[in-house]
Structure formats: structure tokens, C-alpha cells
Amino acid sequence: MVGGQVIVGRLKGVERPPLAPLIPTETGTALLIDCGANVDARPSHLVQFAKMGSVYMESVMKVKNPRVAIVNIGAEEDKGNALVKETFPLLKNCPDINFIGSIEARDIPAGYADVVVCEAFVGNVILKLYEGVGGTLIKKVKAGMMTSLRSKIGALLVKPALKETLKAFDLEQYGGAPLLGLNGLVVKTHGSSKAIEIKNSVLQCVTFKEQKINDKIKEKITLDDE
């Protein structure tokens, strides 16, 4: 991440580039931003994360007027730590994002928001929990289908639908996490990534370039600064 910033640099006006992976939800996917690049974020950083995330979801994922929420310990506006309390009114009064308020971690998988905003420590915990639960769920389901002859027969009947459902929890299919706000294309993957994740990361870069995400982010940030 540091190398990406040093080599390609940041777009004009961008304070901190965030890592923004896609995560599965009940209704499709959501963008988790930031999940590891900025542990000590300021309110202004989170506002820019929300704007960059909205551009990404609208241009790449074709989500119209994406819903933006900030991760919190409750739905009330006065809940949360100092960072969340200071950021909330800034997001609420931001005219060019569709801010819907706070979101609790339990509601993220339900798909209540399209852009989930948080600082890197919180985002990384959410992402790693997703990875762990997803892997455990797949293993438990597969083991459960092999416990008896009846379960094996049932598994054959539901295999196509079950395979498609469990696929949503395999984060490798989404590729790596783009580092948004840079003057170039940077996608971070795990050192242990398999071929499918590398392939999808490359395809993600192609879409990123075709949709001119950097130009759109630069335009939005520049307009906001004027």
C-alpha cells in the first residue's frame, strides 16, 4: 500500500487512499471502505471514502444512487466513538452522497448499505471475520452433507443451488481490494491468493480503467474543493 502511494502517487485533493474490497450480502455485494490502509483516520478522510466508494459502486457495480452508511455500535446519531460522532454530521450534510445513517455490523450481510464506511481497524476486523465465517460455513455444510446416506442423497438434489449460494461467500471470486484515490491502478491481494483471485483482480483493473474511475474520483474531489 505504501509502495502504491510512493510509485503512482495520490490524485489531487485525495487525503488518504482507502482499501475497498467487495463483500457478499443478501442482496448482492457491498463495498467495505477502508479495510486496512488508514488506522488513524480523521472525519474528513471518512467523508472522502464515502465519496470514492459511491463513485466505484455506481460506475463499476452499476448501483444507482448507492446507499452509504457508517459502521457504528447503534443506529442512533449520538452513538459511537469520537471519530464516528464527528463524521456523522459531515456525511449527513454531504449533498453528493446518499447517506442513510449508521449501520451495525450484524446488518452489513443483510445488504442494508451499498457503501460501508469505517476506519481501517474496524474494516479489517469485519473483513477477516467475513473470511473466517465464510470458510467455516462452507466446510460445515460440506461435512453435514456427508453424515448419512439420506444427507448424501439430499446433497445431490440441492447441489446446483447450494453450490451457487456458497460461491457468494468465496471472497476470491471478487478479486483483490482496490486502493482508491491513487493516480493509477493498484489492487491488493493476499500473498496466498489462488489463480482465480489474481485473474479477477486483473479483470477488475480492466473495468476500473474502462469506467475511468480515477477521472470520476478526481472530478468529484476537485469540485468539492472549489
The model's pTM is: 0.87
Q: What percentage of the chain carries pLDDT values higher than 90?
A: 54
Residue 226 has pLDDT above 60, yes or no: no
Of 207 and 99, which is predicted with more confidence?
Answer: 99
Of the pLDDT bands very low, low, confident and very high (cuts 50, 70, 90), residue 54 is very high
Task: State the Rg of the chain over Cα.
Answer: 19
**pLDDT for the residue 213:** 93
pLDDT band at 117 (very low <50, low <70, confident <90, very high): very high
Burial letters 83-100, b for 16+ CB under 10 A, else e: bbeebbeebeebeebbbb
Predicted confidence band of residue 148 (pLDDT cuts 50, 70, 90): confident
Amino acid letter, residue 216: K
Residue-level length of the chain: 226
Q: Can you tell me the distance from the alpha carbon of 76 to that of 174, in angstroms, rounded to the nearest whole number?
A: 32
Domain count, the chain: 1
Question: If residue 59 lies in a helix (H) or strand (E), which one and from where to where?
Answer: helix 43-59
Task: State residue 66's pLDDT score.
Answer: 98
Domain that holds residue 134: 2-225
- Decide: helix, strand or coil at residue 123: helix
The residue type found at 4 is G
Nearest to 108 by CA among 127, 93, 92: 127
pLDDT on residue 224: 58
* HSE-CB of 12 using CA atoms within 13 angstroms: 10
pLDDT at 62: 94
| 52 or 140: which leads in pLDDT | 52
User: Among 53-57, 137-141, 201-205, 207-211, whose mean pLDDT is lowest?
Assistant: 137-141
| Residue whose grid cell is 471470486 | 173
**Of the candidate ranges 3-12, 78-87, 202-211, the one whose mean pLDDT is the lowest:** 3-12
For position 139, what pLDDT does the model report? 82
CATH number (domain holding residue 171): 3.40.718.10
Q: Where are the alpha helices (DSSP H) in 61-212?
A: 82-92, 120-144, 149-167, 195-210
44 CB-near residues (< 8 Å, 6+ apart): 15, 90
> What's the pLDDT score for residue 21?
94
Whole-number average pLDDT of the chain: 89
**Residue 225 in 3-state DSSP?**
helix
